[in-house]
């Protein structure tokens, strides 16, 4: 899918959206998507989970898996829109997206709000800090224990909640809109740490090529999370159809070929289940 159609075609998108809106919603969401010709996916543009290139092309492990699964279901393409993590589930519930394919990690409270597929992308958490880790952070607890320390994280994201749950006061957990902003805020000393999953932080550091940065990974005490494609409650039939094709991709080795070039482990996703990941910890 080329996001040029998405970016350049605001009008085009309105036309597509109106067409999508024109397609009568039926009990069979998959038939609706086939008629629509595409699935509207929410992404964050956080490589390697999701990425939008300068030319508008959407890639990243989550959209690549979703594109392949939907193609096998007879849905030709995906059309992506960028969303903050905290807005993805409300957007899905409001019908702005057909599915979230963004590395939205499975956690009990999210599992209660959406219909997740089986696991797709797993990762631990990381902290981006100045070289030498001057405040000696190893965990979110360490940040909480340092009365002056601040940590940046995506709004409504997992790292924000982990920091708050570890006792970092609200005014020391800074909502950061995207990876580049988080990187710059650490470089400029405006935050003491920026937290994202390990592969996302590594991608930022690799691109920045700044010797004055250091990655603390994994964050001690933080779980390894896995995402799934997140469907609206009520679209379980579509979710189940997605799972059938996802299982075939896993079985055939094609799943590994899709995600491992991005640094993800197919074995990690195949070693767990939605049931285990959604169970209250």
HSE of 266 in the Cβ direction (CA atoms, 13 Å)? Answer: 16
- Residue 154 sits in the site that holds ligand 6CS (CB under 6 A): yes
**Can you say how many angstroms the Cα of residue 83 is from the centroid of all Cα atoms in its chain?**
10
Binding to ligand 6CS, residues 69-88 (CB under 6 A): 85
| Nearer CB in complex with ligand 6CS: 103/213 | 103
C-alpha to C-alpha distance for 227 and 105, rounded to whole angstroms:
4
Tell me which residue has tokens 């589930």.
Answer: 89
| Nearer CB in complex with ligand 6CS: 132/170 | 170
Contact in structure between 164 and 98 (CB atoms under 8 Å)? no
| Nearer CB in complex with ligand 6CS: 139/158 | 158
| Nearer CB in complex with ligand 6CS: 46/98 | 46
Residue 12 Cβ vs ligand 6CS, minimum distance, rounded to whole Å = 28
Binding to ligand 6CS, residues 91-150 (CB under 6 A): 103-105
Residue nearest to ligand 6CS (CB): 157
- Residue 255 sits in the site that holds ligand 6CS (CB under 6 A): no
Picking from 144, 128, 130, the residue whose alpha carbon sits closest to that of residue 195 is 128
Residue 255 Cβ vs ligand 6CS, minimum distance, rounded to whole Å = 18
Whether the upstream peptide bond of residue 218 has omega within 30° of 0, thus cis, is yes
Task: State both tokens at 251.
Answer: 């079985």
- Residue 196 sits in the site that holds ligand 6CS (CB under 6 A): yes
Q: How many residues bind ligand 6CS (CB under 6 A)?
A: 13
Characterize 13-36 residue by residue with b for buried, 16 or more Cβ atoms within 10 angstroms of its Cβ, and e for exposed.
Answer: beebeeebeeeeeeeebbebbbeb
From 157, 179, 182, 228, residue interacting with ligand 6CS (rule: CB under 6 A): 157
Residues of this chain that bind ligand 6CS (CB under 6 A):
46, 49, 85, 103-105, 154, 157-159, 196-197, 200
């Amino acid at each position: 899918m080329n996001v040029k159609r998405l970016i350049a075609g605001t009008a085009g998108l309105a036309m597509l959206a109106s067409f999508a809106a024109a397609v009568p919603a039926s009990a069979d969401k998959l038939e609706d998507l086939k008629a629509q010709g595409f699935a509207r996916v929410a992404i964050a543009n956080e490589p390697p989970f999701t990425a939008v290139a300068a030319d508008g092309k959407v890639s990243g492990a989550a959209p690549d898996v979703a594109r392949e699964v939907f193609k096998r279901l007879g849905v030709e393409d995906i059309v992506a829109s960028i969303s903050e993590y905290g807005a993805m589930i409300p957007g899905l519930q409001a019908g702005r997206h057909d599915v979230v394919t963004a590395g939205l990690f499975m956690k009990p409270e999210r599992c209660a709000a959406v219909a997740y597929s089986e696991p797709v992308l797993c990762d631990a958490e990381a902290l981006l800090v100045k070289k030498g880790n001057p405040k000696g952070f190893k965990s979110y607890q360490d940040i909480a224990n340092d009365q002056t320390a601040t940590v940046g994280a995506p709004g409504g994201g997992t790292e924000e909640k982990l920091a708050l749950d570890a006792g970092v006061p609200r005014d020391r957990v800074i909502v950061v809109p995207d990876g580049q902003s988080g990187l710059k805020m650490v470089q400029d000393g405006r935050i003491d740490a920026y937290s994202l999953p390990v592969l996302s932080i590594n991608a930022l550091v690799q691109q920045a090529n700044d010797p004055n940065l250091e990655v603390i990974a994994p964050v001690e005490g933080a779980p390894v999370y896995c995402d799934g494609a997140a469907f609206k409650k009520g679209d379980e039939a579509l979710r189940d159809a997605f799972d059938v094709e996802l299982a075939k991709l896993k079985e055939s080795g094609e799943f590994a070929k899709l995600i491992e070039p991005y640094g993800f482990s197919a074995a990690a996703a195949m070693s767990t289940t939605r049931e285990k990941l959604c169970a209250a910890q």
